Amino acid sequence: MIDSVRRNVLATGAAAAAMAAAPQVFAQQAGQRTAKFYEKGTVRIAYEESGSGFPLLLIAGGGLNSTISGLARGPFDPIKEFKDEYRCVATDLRNANAGQSSGPLEIDRPWDAYTDDQLGVMDHLGIDKFMVMGFCIGGPFTWNLLKRAPDRIVAAVLAQPSGDAQPLLRGQHDRLGSRTGKAAARYHDGDGRQVSDQDVPHQPRLRLYRDA
């Protein structure tokens, strides 16, 4: 058991560390962080890398204000959690209010414009295959990455995703079946009852299994 002297030393040390870190924290909150940039034409995307290992693209929540700093405000800080095992890459969304990325608003293809930016950063870094983890709006971004570059993404995680992914999930599974030469996925609900293809989007507890 820690005696009172040791407890006081630990408390004093923690307070000193907090005071020393305060300027850095306030600077980060003010947006004064160090970022690198990928540029293509009029598009300029801020990105950061942390750690080493197999590449992991991290997409923060926050809607159209998704930024690198937003990752630390999620259910957990994925950069802190994974940087010892993976090469973590994160970006500010194009034109996010609190971010440093900029570029034209492509109103006719907004989702693909953001995917262009994400794939462009990975190309800029010389990364071919990678994993992706998307929070909130990062879920739909992840689905579009899977649609656009299925052969480059080896694994994907949707954390607290926004939107309705069931139609996309069905399409991805069907395409996977055709690409591998196996039968397309069949579906059942949480109680084991088979669900027809047309009813899949209406099932709140969708589970998937593949026939042997």
pLDDT tens sequence across 101-160: 999 989 999 999 999 999 999 999 999 999 999 999 999 999 999 999 999 999 999 998
pLDDT tens for 37-96 read 999 999 999 999 999 999 999 999 999 999 999 999 988 999 999 999 999 999 999 999
Give the CATH architecture of domain 33-163.
Answer: 3-Layer(aba) Sandwich (3.40)
Cα(94)–Cα(137) distance, rounded to whole angstroms?
14
The domain spans of the chain are: 33-163, 164-212
Is the pLDDT at 35 greater than 60? The verdict is yes
Question: Which of 175, 183, 116 lies closest to 151 in space, CA to CA?
Answer: 175
Token code pair at residue 81: 């959690």
User: Do the strands 153-159 and 130-135 form a parallel or antiparallel pair, or are they unpaired?
Assistant: parallel
Token code pair at residue 143: 């689905």
Token code pair at residue 91: 């970006």
The pTM of the full predicted model, rounded to 2 decimals, is: 0.64
